[in-house]
Structure 1
Amino acid sequence: MEKEPEKILETKYNQAVQTIKTAILQSQYQAIKLINKEQLTLYYGIGRYISQNSRIVFWGTGAIAYISNRLQIELPGLRGFSERNLKNMRTFYEEWQLLENNSAVTVAELNEEVTGIPQIRQLQLPNFNSFPIEEFFQIGFTHHTAILSQVKNIEERCFYIKICATELLKVDTLKKLMKEDLYHKQGSLPNNFMAKLSSAELAQRAIMAFKDEYMLDFINVEELGARDLEDVDERIVENKIVQNIKSFIMTFGRDFSFIGNQFRIEALGHTHIIDLLFFNRELSSLVAIELKTGPFKVAYLGQLNMYLRLLDDFVRKPNENPSIGIILCKSADKAYVEYAVRDYDKPMGVSTYKTASDMPERLRNALPDIEELKKLL
């Protein structure tokens, strides 16, 4: 396609400025302060307009930068319409245009006002049974941009949209979860939740609440003077967790409240001690964690099952759901655990964990040693 003269391009750019400016003012008129849904629909419409003119019609390489600068001049104090953000709007449209009933709208099909300036059509979503429309509008544009930049599969995108909306995640937390590949890890820990919890909905929430593996990078076995984690007493590791309880809860997930370690239950003439006890608000359940420094053993399930029975009978409140147990050990054969856990009547699962010493050698070598850090401090 032959490039158009510079003057003609500038005229088109100015028309684009007026078109986007009109859409912004109309949106602000509908909602004095841009609420999330209004903002997303506006950004989607602008993204469509920019995409159709920059992909289908030749605008030139400097078009978006020019439009952004002119918008700042014509609407002083305007935020969110930098060159980068305008490109993000284009991506937002192009990645989600499948949501529209008619996504093949061309520039010529846009309704024109009396002024001759085309209107920007905003997002109109169809009624998809499986698409989380409500959650889609609940999360911010920055969250959407982060998801689109790292996730290509639509089911995976919907997963992160839902978790952002329900757990009110910050963008940094969202990026961390995507980096950890939560989508593929969630629900993969061996458990008996579906069979032992009172409803499928509660069981699904329980599955979502726990991971199959946790990175407890605040535990450094070498600093404890051991060559291998199995050489370390479980109470030492437990104390490390308690000392770093905030980090542990942030690693474990949202909605966990720490009740205590070495939690004692006096019942039937015997004393029982649970390593770590939490309460999860989302599940409305007590969560008992038994910490093991070695590989999984079947005997751990019987011990945990007894603890859960005691919690339900002597600790749990009437309005709470059944207590849930997690064995947190160094390694486990998932198929073996799945087979073994079926015969126990209390809801429980088995997760594994890694410590700082489990990091790949190339990453550990890239870190300064403890003495160097002390000198820097």
Structure 2
Amino acid sequence: MAEIIPNEDKEYSVLLDKIGQRIDQGKQEVARALIKSMLGTYWDMGQYIVEYEQDGKPHAIYGQQLFKRLSKDLTLRYGKGYSVPNLYNMRQFYQVYKDGYEELLSLTWSHVCILMRIENPVEREFYQRQCIDEKWDVTSLNRQKKSALFLRLADNKDKNEIIKLAREGIVIEKPEDVVKDVYTLDFMNLPSNIVIDETELEGRLMKQLGFFFLELGKGFTFVGEQYPMRINNKTFKCDLVFYHRILKCFFLVDLKIDEVEHKDIGQMNMYMGYFAEEVNEPDDKPPVGLILAREKDELMVKYATYGMDTNLFVSKYELYLPDENELRKLVEKALNDDTEIEN
């Protein structure tokens, strides 16, 4: 009978881990090779179809009839995967990425099918860059595209800023790069006639924390909810506390179901002071405070934050998707500006 090596044996554990890591690495290599082969095959097939259609010679079959016949014959010869819609996808893949698809090799065919349907090339480049850099899965890509993330970020930017956003994605160097003017919380699926308080709003966000992370952006780690702070025998609680790995600072969030008031701003400033003095480690950067309110009086906020920490922000949230058509008009107007693009 073969000798059984006990699990407690440290050398055996190291061996087991090393073999396991190599197996995982091998699976990833196979998956990448498969995706590369699949994308290359689909791109070539799309090219062959386009060249056949543009040949200029009279063909017996045109348009949809061509795809129906191809689908039938390819399915009989090679099995599943060659439906009429997928053949149309292959043609569109070649047409959209005619100059090459090498940057897409870390993505799946499902990613590609979503990206190539984005008509605006600048917008498409943004989502493509985010998928690659942030390793968005298909669900995340659909969610961010549906919430018009690019259009919301590009709003109020000039042409060069929009082009930079598309080419580089979201670059985080300071708190202003993280905080949005408006946060879209449509993922909570609240009926339009429902009235909720701050506790329920917080609870619903916690149940959908994954989607809230997507809306916040990259770099966030959840620390806790109703974070207690004891000051002069009084306990204060911050609704949500995160830590931002890139900025290396705590990120404090307070939720308001109505319009933000000046006392809310003073309270958040106190929270930030507490974290800076009592919670921060020596290598932590100053905390960031964000008040999320349904309504925001810009002038009151300007006066209430006068002379305060520049890391204190007041943003609005909306429970429903923004008007994508209006945002798109504003962004396309900026892109159509005659300003020369900076390299």
TM-score normalized by structure 1?
0.59
Q: Using the alignment, how far apart are the partners of 2:31 and 2:137 within structure 1?
A: 25
- Count residues with an aligned counterpart: 275
* Residue 144 (structure 2) pairs with residue 177 (structure 1): yes
Deviation track 1:47-79 (CA, whole Å, cap 9, x = no partner) reads: 222112123445523223323333333334xx5
- CA-to-partner distance for each residue in 1:264-315, whole Å, 9 max, x for gaps? 1235776442122233456554221112222234554343233223223322
Question: Given that residues 147 and 184 in structure 2 are in contact (C-alpha distance below 8 angstroms), is that contact kept between their aligned partners in structure 1?
Answer: no
1:245 paired to 2:201: no
C-alpha distance in 2 between matches for 1:54 and 1:65: 14
2:252 maps to amino acid: A
Matches within 5 A, 1:215-234: 215=185, 217=188, 224=195
Per the alignment, in what secondary structure is the counterpart of residue 92 of structure 2? helix
The alpha-carbon distance between structure 1 residues 313 and 38, as it changes in their structure 2 partners (threshold 3 A), is farther
Q: Which has the larger radius of gyration?
A: 1
The secondary structure found in structure 2 opposite 1:178 is helix
Distance 2:302 2:155 in 1: 11
1:188 and 1:211 in contact (8 A); partners too: no
Q: Which residue of the partner structure matches residue 46 of structure 1?
A: 45
Residues 120-139 of structure 1: matches in 2 within 5 Å?
Answer: 123=100, 134=103, 136-139=104-107
| Distance (whole Å) between structure 2 residues aligned to residue 319 and residue 187 of structure 1 | 33
Amino acid at match of 1:237: E
Note if 1:147 corresponds to 2:111: no
CA drift of 1:324 comes to 2.2
Equivalent-residue separation in structure 1 for 2:174 and 2:125 (angstroms): 16
Q: 1:188 to 1:207 in 2, by over 3 A?
A: farther
Alignment of 1:89-108 (within 5 A): 89-97=90-98, 99=99
The corresponding residue for 1:88 is 89
User: Does 1:353 pair with 2:317?
Assistant: yes
| 2:239 alignment counterpart | 275
Match for 2:141: what amino acid? L
Residue by residue, what CA displacement relative to the aligned partner does 1:165-187 show, whole Å, maximum 9, x if unpaired?
23333323322322221111137
Query: Which residue of the partner structure matches residue 71 of structure 2?
Result: 68
Q: What is the DSSP-based 3-state SS (H/G/I as helix, E as strand, rest coil) of the residue aligned with 1:203? A: coil
One-letter code aligned to 1:47: G
Secondary structure of the structure 1 residue equivalent to 2:208:
helix
Residues 137-216 of structure 1: pairs in structure 2 closer than 5 A: 137-149=105-117, 151-186=118-153, 201-203=171-173, 207-208=177-178, 210=180, 212-215=182-185
How far residue 84 of structure 1 moved from its aligned partner, in angstroms, is 1.6
CA distance in 1, matches of 2:110, 2:43: 13
Amino acid at match of 2:239: D
1:274–1:289: 8 Å Cα contact kept in structure 2? yes
Which of these residues, 317, 323, 326, is aligned with residue 287 of structure 2? 323
Quote the Cα distance in structure 2 between the aligned partners of 1:33 and 1:140: 9
Offset of residue 208 of structure 1: 5.0
* Alpha-carbon distance in structure 1 between the residues aligned to 2:143 and 2:46: 27
| 8 Å contact kept, 1:289–1:328 | yes
Cα gap change, 1:175/1:221 in structure 2, threshold over 3 Å: closer, same or farther? closer
Cα RMSD of the aligned pairs, angstroms, is 4.0
- Greater relative contact order (Cα < 8 A, sep 6+): 2
* Structure 1 Cα separation of the partners of residues 183 and 36 of structure 2: 36
SS of match in other structure, 1:352: strand
Q: Give me the whole-angstrom Cα distance separating, in 1, the residues matched to 2:297 and 2:92.
A: 42
The gaps in structure 2 that reach 5 residues or longer are 1-29, 157-169, 324-343
Q: Which residue of 2 aligns with 1:296?
A: 260
5 Å-filtered alignment, 1:261-272, equals 261-266=225-230, 271-272=235-236
Shift, 1:88, TM fit:
0.8
**Normalised by the size of structure 2, how large is the TM-score?**
0.64
Residues 19-30 of structure 1 mapped to structure 2, 5 A cutoff: none
- Say whether 1:332 aligns with 2:296: yes
SS at match of 2:97: helix
Is the CA contact 1:219–1:237 (under 8 Å) kept in the aligned structure 2?
no
**How far apart are the structure 1 equivalents of 2:93 and 2:150?**
21
For the residues of structure 2 that align with 1:293 and 1:164, how far apart are their CA atoms?
Answer: 33
1: CA distance, partners of 2:273 / 2:185:
29
Given the superposition, is the C-alpha separation of residues 203 and 42 from structure 1 closer, same or farther in structure 2, using an over 3 Å criterion?
A: same
Deviation at 1:219, TM superposition (A): 5.1
Runs of 5+ consecutive residues of structure 1 not aligned to the other structure:
1-30, 100-122, 126-132, 190-199, 225-231, 361-377
Question: Contact 1:324 / 1:347 at 8 angstroms: preserved in 2?
Answer: yes
Cα shift at 1:203: 3.5
